[in-house]
Amino acid sequence: MSLHHGSLAVFISAVSVTIICCPNILVAQAPEALLPQAEYCKKQQATLAARNSGSDYTGAIGNVRHCQLAAQSLAAQWNRKHTDITALQVLAHTSPLIRDQELFEAAARVANDATRSRNERLAAFIALAGYYDPTFYISYTDRLDQPGLTGFSYVWLGRSDASTMPGTTPLRSDARGNILRILTQAANSDGDSTIRSIALFLSEELRRE
């Protein structure tokens, strides 16, 4: 995977992005993956339903995408409030791999909701970018706590070759337009200047696609 910060290209090793961009790796490494599919999926869904944090919960977010009810399970995770940054990142990068309207709308609601934390909304922006183009990969720099910067200063952009799968409810053809609308609205009127800067930057980058 390659990432760039504006015109500066950098390359990061596959190991450094395994947990975030490639949740299927978690499946391959998890001992419970040897269980029969139905039992394996039941275990992932039970872990998510418990609404705990930690490595088991984060792993279940990535692993459940291989299960029949993945879209519904992940949509429910967007509907809860998160403080676990790692879990949020995995949720953000896993969700758009499932091209599901219900799951997309769950992420979009978080992106639109000013009562949710900045971390939650920025994770939702990652998911929206992935729904716009599943090869589009976003991560954030360590400057999010510095107000007044341009989106260029906050965002790393890259490309991912992660494979996608259809959801229970097919993603509608107007998803791209809705994503641009959400980002444009946030860029124009959000009360958080960092959110505004990032939304403007992402909307401009996505329009170049």
Strand 8-11 to 165-166 pairing:
unpaired
Give me the residue spans of the domains in the chain. 2-207
DSSP, collapsed to helix, strand or coil, labels residue 157 as strand
pLDDT digits (tens, 9 = 90+) for 18-39: 333 333 333 334 445 556 889 9
Contact 35, 191 (CB under 8 A): no
The residues with which 157 forms a beta bridge, in sequence order, are: 4, 138
| Closest to 140 in 3D by CA, of 104, 89, 176 | 89
Percent of the chain scoring above 70 in pLDDT: 83
For residue 67, the model assigns a pLDDT of 94
Q: State pTM to two decimals.
A: 0.83
Q: Among 40-54, 92-106, 143-157, 176-190, which stretch is predicted with the lowest mean pLDDT?
A: 40-54
What is the per-residue pLDDT across 108-153, written as a single tens digit (0 to 9) for each? Answer: 999 999 999 999 999 999 999 999 999 999 999 999 999 999 999 9
